[in-house]
Structure 1
Amino acid sequence: MFYVYIIRSEKDGSFYKGFSLQPLTRLQQHNNKESKYTAAKIPWQLFHIEIFDNKTTALKREIVLKKYSHQQIVALSKSFKNQLQHDIKYQGLGCSPVIPNWLGTG
């Protein structure tokens, strides 16, 4: 599986869009300041994710998403395309996400 993800900075609400085979590992790398583009805006949270069967389609989608405005990303995150909308359930009032099985941990 190939993943296109959007993460949101808790520091300033900005978004970063990327591609990964292991999105949770990649999120961890962003939060560990292993990316110069995102290091100054940690912590990051997974905001949107889409799954693709092939790399070419995923990379093309990433290019499209990189052109999206802030408002377009917010709207997209509420759409059926966001796998997190389908699969993450929230516990209690704190809304702690439960990571779905299909996303894995590594």
Structure 2
Amino acid sequence: MLINLFAYWQITTDEQLSLLGLAKDKQKTLTHERDKLKRASVLLDIHKSLRLLFPHNRELVYGWMTQPNRAFNGATPVQIIDERGMVGLYMTWCGLIWMCRGTGRHGF
């Protein structure tokens, strides 16, 4: 499922590795197995939230992760997750949850 999602998001292999907490250098390991599973779960939840928020706009659902966002000072969600790791992943996910609940913050 994640491989298909990454294809829809049109993100690079390096970005995919970053989102999953995997090192680009095979000599380094960034995360433990539990962390990888949590990351996968949150990524799928992000996709679910996007589908709930934009049920009639597949282009936005699949393009949102790679589009600059005011809430992130013009950075993309993928860049935020790459730079901040799990914190960035949760920032992205929580922003979408707030939007789903109708309490979205400026920029999302």
Q: State if a TM-score over 0.5 links the two structures.
A: no
Structure (1/2) with the larger helix percentage? 2
Q: Which has the higher contact order (CA 8 A, sep 6+)?
A: 1
Structure (1/2) with the larger strand percentage? 1
Query: What is the TM-score when the length of structure 2 is the normalising length?
Result: 0.30
Query: What is the TM-score when the length of structure 1 is the normalising length?
Result: 0.31
